Structure 1
Amino acid sequence: MKGMDPDLAEAPIIKLKQWSDVTFLTYSLMAKAQNNPVNKLRHIFRHNIATLETRETIRRALEQEYQVSQPSAWPGQKFNGEHVEAFNAMMGTPHGSAAAFVAAQHKQQLGLKRVNEVTIFRDSSENRGWHLVFTFEDFGT
């Protein structure tokens, strides 16, 4: 193409179909720009959860484990190995499975990682914005 960087003109175009691919590509570019190793991924934040399935799962998990129906402001509520059923439910949502898919699809670049904790919180000033933080840990050899 006229006016295009010659290196880019020769580069293959990658088909990005999954949220996880776009997220990993963005993360890896940001990590490299800051001279950070790509394999140091620790968190994925999901902002303003609007998916009804995920919000209903969050509500049920909060009621089951914390006896509340809405997340609190930061630091919110955490779900991990102590909350197996609720943690697994969170990982089964579209947001949880997408976060896990980032690690599964990019093992070569990230190493072996898994989500070991999900944090749920809301905006401090109002109750509309619900947010998720998926925390990763290294595992295996």
Structure 2
Amino acid sequence: MHPFRRAVEAGDVSALESLFAEDAVFTSPVVFKPYAGKAITAAIVRGAARVFGDIHYVREIVSADGRDHALVFKATVNGLQVHGCDFLHLDEDGLIDDLTVMVRPLSAAKALAEAMGAQFDQIHREVAAAQATVPEPQ
């Protein structure tokens, strides 16, 4: 079981950030442009944890080299059942450098877009706080 899955299922959002590479990219199921960087990726995943109810993974598929994972999940968003998949790619250090999420059906994707849209003020505050704590290069 991948540590990402373990952390999500346990509701341990604090463990998630350490799993992402600095250059991680998050591709949303409802927004065209990907989000680049560890801080925004981690903040979006924390926002999703606040939005998804009773998320649980039903299948985990791993590539032969162990660097690609497909984590199929079920959850609820505003009372609608969501079926989805988290696609993870790991860099040479075993950190997640690419996270793509896909969801269905369309009604649930729309509910997810609305619920996540309501999270973005908090997400932006979390990113700003994370960037404020990073020391300047000497």
TM-score, normalised by the number of residues in structure 2: 0.25
Give the structure, 1 or 2, with the largest relative contact order (CA under 8 Å, sep 6 or more).
1
Q: Looking at CA atoms only, which structure, 1 or 2, has the larger radius of gyration?
A: 1
Decide which structure has greater helix share.
1
